[in-house]
Amino acid sequence: MNPTPDESDLSSAGQPRRDEPEGAPVRPATGAHDPFAPDPRLQVIPEVLREPDVNRTPSAERDPSGSLVSAGRAWATAFDFIFTIGAGALLGWLLDQWQSTSPWGLLGGLTLGFTTALMRIIRATLAEEKREAARRKTR
């Protein structure tokens, strides 16, 4: 007979299960678990985690405005991408209205806007990498 999931969690006659570590508290045969009992796994804390590293400071203490500047640049890049594509689509739509070439002007405008947006992102990223490299050299 296969044990049900509830039976597999229970220890037989109050004995520790085979997969529990040596010295683990014995669980009652009913499967009840005291939620306030200390977990034996948490008593073995690596030495690295016991003492704080005094040489490392949190990033917020280093430069609190740095994260805001990075977030601002990310939002500016995202809006630049969206609005560049939108401007290309608008120009294509206006061309369609003027020349009655629907939908080719719109599709061309979207393609042109998307290509331009990608080029602008690549250029901005390369410029930022150059600034970062120059800043690292001056340290």
Q: What's the pLDDT tens digit per position in 73-100? A: 899 999 999 999 999 999 999 999 999 9
Region 126-135 average pLDDT: 92
Look at residue 72 and tell me if it is in a domain.
Answer: no
Look at residue 97 and tell me if it is in a domain.
Answer: yes
Q: What's the pLDDT tens digit per position in 112-121? A: 999 999 999 9
Tally the residues of the chain. Answer: 139
Look at residue 95 and tell me if it is in a domain.
Answer: yes
**Residue 46 confidence (pLDDT):** 73
Tokens of 38: 């200390």
Which of 134, 132, 123, 133 is CA-nearest to residue 66? Answer: 132
Q: Print the domain residue range for 90.
A: 81-138
Look at residue 118 and tell me if it is in a domain.
Answer: yes
**Residue 36 confidence (pLDDT):** 81
**Residue 10 confidence (pLDDT):** 47
Look at residue 94 and tell me if it is in a domain.
Answer: yes
Give the chain's domain count: 1
Look at residue 96 and tell me if it is in a domain.
Answer: yes
Residue 127 has pLDDT above 50, yes or no: yes
**Residue 111 confidence (pLDDT):** 97
Look at residue 104 and tell me if it is in a domain.
Answer: yes
Please, what is the average pLDDT of the chain? 79
Q: What's the pLDDT tens digit per position in 3-59? A: 555 444 444 545 555 565 566 555 555 556 777 887 777 777 777 777 776 666 555
Tokens of 82: 């969206």
Q: What's the pLDDT tens digit per position in 51-76? A: 776 666 555 455 667 788 889 989 99
Look at residue 12 and tell me if it is in a domain.
Answer: no
Residue 102 has pLDDT above 60, yes or no: yes
